[in-house]
Amino acid sequence: MPANRIVPLVAREGLRGPYWLLTFRHPEIARDARAGQFVMIKAGTSAEPPLRRPFSIMATDPGAETFTLFVKEVGPGSRALGRLAPGEVAQCLGPLGRPFSTPPAGTEALLVAGGYGVAPFRLFAEELKRSGGRGRLFYGGRTSDDLPLLEHLGGTSTPLVPATEDGSVGHHGQVTAPLEEWLDSGAGPARLYACGPEAMLHAVARVAEARGLAAEVSLDPWMGCGIGTCLGCVVKVQNTDETRASYRCACTEGPVFDAARVRWPGEEVSRARRERAGFMA
């Protein structure tokens, strides 16, 4: 059982709409977190319900011993986090889960984000900057209100390509449209990384399959414990032996999975896809 860490809130910033940037202090989380990992966190120190909730680690500052979460208020757990004042504490487990892989040398990391799924890509962009890797972030939502982090994603070497379905900011249409345009424009070797709503993840998986590209998706099931004991987070994943699928805990074996191995709702898995699956050991 990972340690229950008591983390003081050191800064909070309200963004437009129901969004918060919350910065907590914890030296190990700030030092160890990798893009795609998450914490299970809840406001206060009580052991009583509600359960801790999963949130991606959006940014870290090892020097200041802090990590930042991007929180959308949707219910009691996220609302209680948004009500914390600096100096008050939360309790959390983490960093948890399997991070995104590092793109192979010479490969461009194409990051595709929808809604709060943008959170891990701020840290991913930092990692690319540190390693000298190349990346491009496609950030989509229905309207500009769904892109509250636009102004906070600068300062890295990763260009940002916004897209909205109503055309209020960036490309007019779904976020996969500028992604496909970029791939069609003669971009070199690429690996796709996606985090966001399931329909978007599935669309990215189809783009990757059609073009023979490797893709990793961060899945977003309900999570009760974050450490592999409640089985609330199981997802169906294709085995590499071609015939069977099995259930995996997204909290310990994910949340990041090889997109070619995910059993998307209502989808048959093609033989070609089964053969290509398995690039993530």
Ligand X SMILES: Cc1cc2nc3c(=O)[nH]c(=O)nc-3n(C[C@H](O)[C@H](O)[C@H](O)COP(=O)(O)OP(=O)(O)OC[C@H]3O[C@@H](n4cnc5c(N)ncnc54)[C@H](O)[C@@H]3O)c2cc1C
Instruction: Give the span between the Cα atoms of 264 and 237, in whole angstroms.
Output: 9
Rounded to a whole number of angstroms, the minimum distance from the CB of residue 149 to ligand X is 10
Q: Which is nearer to ligand FES, 178 or 254 (CB)?
A: 254
Contact flag: residue 95 with ligand X (CB under 6 A): no
Rounded to 5°, the CA angle 123-128-134 comes to 135
Q: What DSSP line would sit under 153-169, residue for residue?
A: S-SSSS-EEEEETTSSS
Contact flag: residue 233 with ligand FES (CB under 6 A): yes
Q: Which is nearer to ligand FES, 231 or 272 (CB)?
A: 231
Q: Which is nearer to ligand X, 74 or 272 (CB)?
A: 74
Please tell me whether residue 253 adopts helix, strand or coil conformation.
helix
Site string for ligand X, 31-70 (x = CB under 6 A): -------x--------------xxxx-------------x
Instruction: Give the span between the Cα atoms of 88 and 65, in whole angstroms.
Output: 17
The beta-strand segments (E) located in 32-128 are 38-43, 53-56, 59-61, 66-72, 89-96, 108-114
What's the gap between Cα 44 and its chain centre? 25
**Partner whose footprint covers residue 231, from ligand FES, ligand X, none (CB < 5 to 8 Å by kind):** ligand FES
Instruction: Give the span between the Cα atoms of 92 and 156, in whole angstroms.
Output: 28
Contact flag: residue 255 with ligand X (CB under 6 A): yes
Question: Quick check: 179 and 204 in contact, CB under 8 A?
Answer: yes
Binder of ligand X out of 119, 217, 225, 277 (CB under 6 A):
119
Query: Which part of the chain contacts ligand X (CB under 6 A), choosing from 168-176, 219-227, 240-248, 261-269?
Result: 219-227
Contact flag: residue 224 with ligand FES (CB under 6 A): yes
Residues that bind ligand FES (CB under 6 A): 223-226, 228-233, 249, 251
Binding site for ligand X (CB under 6 A): 38, 53-56, 70-72, 74-79, 116, 119, 220-223, 255
